Amino acid sequence: MLTSPLPLVSCRNTPPIKAYQRLTICSRRWNSVPAPKATSLAHPRVIFSGIQPTGVPHLGNYLGALREWVRLQDTAPKDTRLLFSIVDLHALTVPQEARQLKTWRREGFATLLAVGLDPSRATVFYQSAVPAHTELFWILSTVASMGYLSRMTQWKSKLDLPEDISLEDSAARSKLRLGLFSYPVLQAADILVHRATHVPVGEDQRQHLEFCRYTANSFNHLYGNIFPPPEAIISPAKRVMSLKEPTLKMSKSHTDKRSRILLTDSTEDIHKKVKSALTDSDASVSYDPVHRPGVSNLLEILSHFDGRSCEDLAEEYKSSSLQSLKGHLGSQISLHLEPIRERYLSLIADKTNYLDVVAEEGARTASANADITMRRVRKALGL
């Protein structure tokens, strides 16, 4: 039994989420979501998700994924298995500096605990500590469709190539590495090796989840019914936009650091970043994501903390100013993130090896779970 050196942070003061949007069945509450028909008898519920170690996560990661992971942890029936991973092998698909990656992995791990994941309920682990992920990756790559992978968007956007580029193009051929191209196969292995039935993610992962379902079905078709085709649980905050370019999603790759709020930002920094958020020449407040993406993004972020709809919030702020909306939003974000930040700073500064112990125990539990799958897979393949 692990004992945290710190009190567990309470992240339960989040507003009630009205509905999940799922790939196959939309707008149902988690508690009332029946397990998918094809899998309900054979497969107990398993929730899996992952995040890349690219430094301290930002508000998009938090609202689009991490907060939902904690909510699922706190509300899922007791017999639901929960696994969350720092997917460090995925990070290698773009060049990394070893010391930097080592720091980012640890920061990512500490953040998962700081937001409220409880290691006595959820398994938290580093992907690279569970070799079954890569073994299954190889096996799935023998059924994964090259045509499907070549149509996917991530390798193109990571290499700054146009969406309609083909593998025959010389720019694609010279820049593309196998690891980046087969990234979705490793992601499918992450999910399937744990027999996950549900995967909570932001909307940018929808294509990867579709590919995972397709690959699971291809494998099952050839070798028998081993993998439940997992369902995406898309967070209500499915796409939090950049504060500096509100037509793009908030991301780590944007050159302007003020475009994102990090979970460890100070109150002062949060206020500064929200104040400098790009809006338009109109100083009034209205909700119109197409014509006014900047102010609409601010209203959306506020609604994820406040629980009210963007339209209601716009009505409230109609007669006051954009500045007061920004001030209130800055306060709401800081209030919510402060306990997370404090817990994160304590975990990172902790001189005992608490984080390592949690990671080792997580790896043991995740390996044991993955080994069950791999025994079935090897048997089905004749290995």
Q: Which residues are at the interface with ligand TYM (CB under 6 A)? A: 49-52, 60-61, 64-65, 87, 90, 187, 190-191, 199, 201-202, 204-205, 208, 237, 239-240, 249-251
| 350 class by beta-carbon count within 10 Å (0-12 exposed, 13-18 middle, 19+ buried) | middle
Could you give the CA distance from residue 214 to residue 152 in angstroms, rounded to a whole number? 13
Q: Which is nearer to ligand TYM, 190 or 231 (CB)?
A: 190
Could you give the CA distance from residue 357 to residue 341 in angstroms, rounded to a whole number? 21
Q: How far is the CB of 374 from ligand TYM (least distance, A)?
A: 17
Half-sphere exposure of 208 (CA within 13 A, CB side): 25
Closest by CA to 52, choosing from 224, 218, 202, is 202
Q: Tell me whether residue 326 is one of the annotated catalytic residues.
A: no
The residue from 238, 249, 273, 326 that is catalytic is 249
Q: How far is the CB of 111 from ligand TYM (least distance, A)?
A: 11
Could you give the CA distance from residue 118 to residue 366 in angstroms, rounded to a whole number? 15
Q: How far is the CB of 114 from ligand TYM (least distance, A)?
A: 15
Q: Are 130 and 123 in contact (CB under 8 A)?
A: no
Closest by CA to 208, choosing from 225, 191, 226, is 191
Q: How far is the CB of 242 from ligand TYM (least distance, A)?
A: 8
Q: Tell me whether residue 37 is one of the annotated catalytic residues.
A: no
Q: How far is the CB of 334 from ligand TYM (least distance, A)?
A: 19
Q: Tell me whether residue 249 is one of the annotated catalytic residues.
A: yes
DSSP 67-93: HHHHHHHHHS-TT-EEEEEE-HHHHTT
Neighbours of 66 (CB within 10 A): 26
Neighbours of 379 (CB within 10 A): 12
Q: Which is nearer to ligand TYM, 51 or 359 (CB)?
A: 51
Q: How far is the CB of 3 from ligand TYM (least distance, A)?
A: 28
Q: Which is nearer to ligand TYM, 117 or 354 (CB)?
A: 117
Query: Is the Cα torsion angle 235, 236, 242, 247 positive or negative in sign?
Result: positive
Q: Which is nearer to ligand TYM, 59 or 347 (CB)?
A: 59
SS3 annotation, 300-365: HHHHHHHCCCHHHHHHHHCCCCHHHHHHHHHHHHHHHHHHHHHHHHHHHHCCCCHHHHHHHHHHHH
Active-site positions read: 158, 249, 252
